[in-house]
Structure 1
Amino acid sequence: MGDIQKRLDKVRQMIQSQDFLEGKGLSNEVNIRIFCYEPRDEMAVRHFIEQLSTDMTLGCQLRICNLYQIFLGICEGMDILDAIPDMEEEDGHDYLLEQLQSTIGVDEIVQKIQSEPFQPGEVLVLTGVGEAFPFMRIHTLLEASLFAERPVLVFYPGTFNDQQLRLFNCLKPNNYYRAFNVV
């Protein structure tokens, strides 16, 4: 637990730095940072994010978006949330997943994230990546142009080697190369 806490402390320092907030040192790349962690450290990361959400000393505004909660909110808004368990039981997991993925895509997630205008200097923090699997994958969301104008910090339960994201350190990796690893 000590190592994860030290790494999270460095994330807090990074969030407070002007270089991060202004995207300096990225050679005109988008300002997307990925904090990878061992899935077993999920509860420590959630606790840290909860602390960040109430920390008034950061010097910047955070917009924390839990992708799983957004997904559930979309399902609820479509009035299909209660029907999902029955659909899975009757038609199977694969059919349900196919239906949900064809109904709720990246555009719907982005629309929810952008439902309130972004404020200047606001940092977008994406959480719930593991919870939202397999309904959505972070590499497809990060391709959206939503992220070109603001700093983004993704909390990712897995690994990123600057070319591929590997959720939970065991799933098939997905190519993504526009982000930068954090501590």
Structure 2
Amino acid sequence: MKNKRELLERINGIVEQIESPKFLENKGLGNEIGFWIFDYPAEYELTVREELTHIEKKLDKKGYQFKNINLFAEIVSLLEQRKLFDKACEREKKVGLDALKKNLAGPLQQSKIANFIAEKYPLAELDFVIFTGLGNAWPLLRGHEILAALQDVMGHTPLVLFYPGSYSGLNLQPFGEVESQNYYRAFKLVP
């Protein structure tokens, strides 16, 4: 993507894609789960957030039942529930982010985060779920890992992950720069 105009054109196609039977009913996906990725250059994070509020209003007016789940807010909530958040903040100051990530590997296992989300929200009752906040949660939370964990809890409810980076259809690359592992079961929401 070369510029903001191209990004805005892609953003303008989101509602149409979400309203399609292919998205809402997982039609034409060849028994694949309805996981979708809207990738964008990380430098446009604030633009995407702003535009997403308009998209949510449009979808809400049309009567869709959905949630925008901020992944960063969810890991903070999970850590607070376990009385680990303040300790984690202090620990990061002392040992740095890489060491903190190792310290939180147990409490922030991707399956624990997915289960925490599934217990908190009625996923099966929703038309779809939007996931945001991954950029803020990185590297404590990785796109391909959380998507893999969410497979076990989403059922037939489609999801869209707003991804600050690039998605080739095979590879997720956080922030368009960091090498990452493959995640092959998602589809690009708007090419």
Is 2:127 aligned against 1:132? no
Q: Deviations over 1:30-84 (max 9, x none)?
A: 1111111111111111112222333332342111111101011111112222222
Find the aligned partners of 2:8 and 2:188 in 1 and give their Cα distance: 17
> Among 139, 148, 155, which residue is 1:143 paired with?
148
Is 2:165 aligned against 1:158? yes
Are the structure 2 counterparts of residues 159 and 79 from structure 1 closer, same or farther at C-alpha, using a change threshold of 3 Å?
same
Partner of 1:172: 179
Find the aligned partners of 1:34 and 1:28 in 2 and give their Cα distance: 17
Partner of 1:123: 128
| 1:90 counterpart letter in structure 2 | K
Equivalent position SS for 1:175: coil
| 2:77 counterpart letter in structure 1 | G
Please, which runs of 5 or more residues in structure 2 have no aligned partner? Answer: none
Find the aligned partners of 1:28 and 1:119 in 2 and give their Cα distance: 18
Partner of 1:38: 41
| 2:153 counterpart letter in structure 1 | L
Whether the 8 Å contact between 2:41 and 2:175 is mirrored in structure 1 is: yes
Aligned length: 183
Partner of 1:113: 117
TM-score scaled by length of structure 1: 0.91
Partner of 1:79: 83
Equivalent position SS for 2:53: helix
Equivalent position SS for 2:122: coil
> 1:121 Cα shift?
4.8
Equivalent position SS for 1:143: helix
| 1:29 counterpart letter in structure 2 | E
Whether the 8 Å contact between 1:16 and 1:60 is mirrored in structure 2 is: no
> Among 27, 32, 35, which residue is 2:30 paired with?
27
> 1:131 Cα shift?
0.9
| 1:131 counterpart letter in structure 2 | N
Is 2:103 aligned against 1:91? no
Q: Deviations over 1:80-134 (max 9, x none)?
A: 2222232123334332111112221112211222123225452011111111101
| 1:35 counterpart letter in structure 2 | F
| 2:84 counterpart letter in structure 1 | I
Find the aligned partners of 2:122 and 2:135 in 1 and give their Cα distance: 26
Task: Please report the RMSD computed on the Cα atoms of aligned residues, expressed in angstroms.
Answer: 1.7
Whether the 8 Å contact between 2:124 and 2:154 is mirrored in structure 1 is: no
Find the aligned partners of 1:85 and 1:57 in 2 and give their Cα distance: 39
Whether the 8 Å contact between 1:33 and 1:182 is mirrored in structure 2 is: yes
> Among 52, 56, 59, which residue is 1:49 paired with?
52
Q: Hey, which bits of structure 1, 4+ residues long, moved more than 6 A?
A: none
